[in-house]
Structure 1
C-alpha cells in the first residue's frame, strides 16, 4: 500500500535528507590526509587487483605498525610467487630466478597508486578535490573523491576511501573524457590488530644486504646540452642519469608532479630525423621523435598530446 505524503511531511523528509548529507560533508583534502595516516598507522590485510591496459595482477598486502615502526608484506597471488617485505626503512625484494636484494625506503610502493603517498597540499596547486558522495567497494561504504587537474595536460583520479577506517579501497585513473585507464581495487579487507603470524614469519627470514646506491649524485653534477623548455605546471625534476648501451649514451631526466611522472630520454638516433612514433597503453604513453640527429623519447603517465608538446619544445644548446 502506498501512502501520500502531505506537503509538510515531504518538507520534513527533504530537510532530513539535506541534514544527513550535510553531516557526511567533509573536506576532501582532510579525507585524503586521513587516508595517508590510516595506511601507516593501522594493522590490516587486504587482497586487491591492479588492472592496466595489458595486465591484471592479484596481490595480498599485510601491514603492521608496532611502536611507530612499519612492517609489511606484499605478495603476488598468481603464478610464480614474488614477495616484497618491509622492516622499518628497509625494503627487501624476493623474486624467482633473481638474486634477492634490499633498498632503503619508507614504504612499499610497487603496485599501489601514487595517490596513497602524494603530498595533498602540494597537489592542490594543480588539482581540485571534489567530494563525490558515498559508494560501496568490497562490501564496505566508501567516500568518493574526484581529483581533477586544473589544466588539460594530465589525467584525473577517482578515489574511494573506507568511511570507517579511511583506508583506500579503490582508485581509478581516468582520461579527460572519463574513460578508465588503470584501476586499483581491494576485493577483501581484514582489520587485524595482531597479525602475529607475520612477525613470526619475519623472524625466520634471512634478509638480503642493501644494494649500493650508485645514484647518489647531486643533480647539478650532471649536465646535458638539451633541456625541455615547456612542462605542465607543477612538474619538477626528480633525477638525472646517464646510461651506456651498446656504445650509445642515453641521457635521462625524470619529472613528477607528485601524482604522475615521466622520463625523457635522448640518445644518438639510429635513423636520422626519423618520423614520430606513438603508443598508448592505458595511462602509459610512449612517444618518440627526432631532432638534431638525436632520438627523443617520452615514457610516462601523460596523454600523447602532452608528450608531443614536451618533446617538440626540447631545445639543444
Structure 2
C-alpha cells in the first residue's frame, strides 16, 4: 500500500513539472552592457594650433627666465588686445633698464642711457613668438609633431610636444603648453645630439578677462619717431645671390644698406626665414683679418659664423647648426 502511494505521488510530481514547462514564462530583461571607450585625445597639431590662437587673443602677463650657456636673464611680457590689435610690452628685469613696446605696426625701444627709437615692423618679436605664430599645417614638411607627456610648469598642468626636425639643417624644439589656457610655458631648443642649447621657461602666468590698464594707456601715448635705415641701390640687381637654401627656407629680404660699422661701403643683406627661424646674411668688404679660432661664436641657440674670402667678408647669424651656416656662406656667389 505504501509502495503504491509512493508511485502515485511520483507520477503526480512528474505531471506537475511537465505542465509547468508548457506555461510560457516571461523573458527576463538582460542588463544592457555599455562598453566604455576612451575619448580620443587631441593631436599634437591641435594643441599647437590652440596655442597659436591663445597667444594671439588672450590678455596675460608672463614672468619668465631665458637660459643660455649658464646665463639666466629674467624678463617680463605683458600682452593684450586693444581694438582688435595685439599690444605687447617687453621688459628686462635685471641690469640697465631695457624695454620695448610693440603695437600697430611698429616696435619702440627704450634703453637707459640711449636715445629711444621705433622701427616699422609687423613681425611679432616677443617671447615665444616664432613658435606661437608658426604655420603648423604647412610646417609638417620640416617638422614632425609628437606628444611626449604631461608635466607641471609654473604651478600649471602642462603637456609637452616635441617638434622634430626632418633634416640636419635646423634645430628641434620641445614646447610645454598650459592645459587650461594653451599658452606656452616653456620652450627648449634641441640640437642633433639631443642637448638643450637654450631654454625659455615661465615662472608666473596671470590671465585676465580685460587688457592690462597700464598697456591700455600705453596704446594711446606718443612713441618715438620711426628710424629709417639708409638704403642704397634698392632698385639695382643684388650684388650677391645664394645658390643653396636650407629646405623650406625662403629669401624674405635682399637689399643693400649702410651700417654704422661700415660707413664707406654699403653692406649687402639677405634674410632667410622658414617660419620659425630667421637667418641674416651680411656680405661686405673685409674689415679685419680673422683668426680661425674666432670664425664661430655661439650663444645658446644663436650662431654667428664668419667666412673671409680674399677681400670679402660673410657673416651668417641665426638659430641654426654650424653645417647650415657653412653651406649658406659657401653658396654665396656674385650676381651676373
Q: Which residue of the partner structure matches residue 233 of structure 1?
A: 247
Q: Give matches, 1:46-57, under 5 Å.
A: 46-53=62-69, 55-57=71-73
* Partner SS state of residue 306, structure 1: helix
* Partner SS state of residue 247, structure 1: strand
Q: Distance in 2 between matches of 1:69 and 1:39?
A: 13
Of the three residues 120, 130, 139, the one matched with 2:146 is 130
Deviations 1:62-84 (A, max 9, x none): 22224523333222222233222
1:139 equivalent in alignment to 2:155 = yes
Q: Which residue of the partner structure matches residue 250 of structure 1?
A: 267
- Cα deviation for residue 31 of structure 1 reads 1.3
* Partner SS state of residue 231, structure 1: coil
1:91 equivalent in alignment to 2:107 = yes
Give the TM-score of the pair, scaled to structure 2.
Answer: 0.77
Q: Quick check: 2:82–2:211 contact (8 Å CA) kept in 1?
A: no
RMSD between aligned residues? 3.0
Q: Distance in 2 between matches of 1:243 and 1:54?
A: 35
Q: Which residue of the partner structure matches residue 12 of structure 1?
A: none
Unaligned runs of 5+ in 2: 1-34
Q: Which residue of the partner structure matches residue 268 of structure 1?
A: 285
Give the TM-score of the pair, scaled to structure 1.
Answer: 0.82
Of the three residues 272, 276, 301, the one matched with 1:283 is 301
Of the three residues 182, 198, 201, the one matched with 1:166 is 182
- Cα deviation for residue 54 of structure 1 reads 6.7
* Partner SS state of residue 78, structure 1: coil
Deviations 1:48-72 (A, max 9, x none): 1112237422122222224523333
Q: Give matches, 1:98-137, under 5 Å.
A: 98-106=114-122, 108-137=124-153
Unaligned runs of 5+ in 1: 1-14
Q: Distance in 1 between matches of 2:289 and 2:104?
A: 49
1:39 equivalent in alignment to 2:55 = yes
- Cα deviation for residue 153 of structure 1 reads 1.3
- Bigger-Rg structure (1/2): 2
User: Structure 1 218/69 Cα, relative in aligned 2: closer, same or farther at 3 Å?
Assistant: farther
Deviations 1:178-222 (A, max 9, x none): 11111111101112224553256437x742244154589997x24
Name the count of aligned residue pairs.
297
- Cα deviation for residue 313 of structure 1 reads 2.4
User: Structure 1 249/67 Cα, relative in aligned 2: closer, same or farther at 3 Å?
Assistant: closer
- Cα deviation for residue 293 of structure 1 reads 3.2
Q: Quick check: 1:285–1:302 contact (8 Å CA) kept in 2?
A: yes
Q: Which residue of the partner structure matches residue 8 of structure 2?
A: none
Deviations 1:106-128 (A, max 9, x none): 46514445112122223222111
After superposing on structure 2, the runs of 4+ consecutive aligned residues of structure 1 that deviate more than 6 Å are 215-219, 271-274
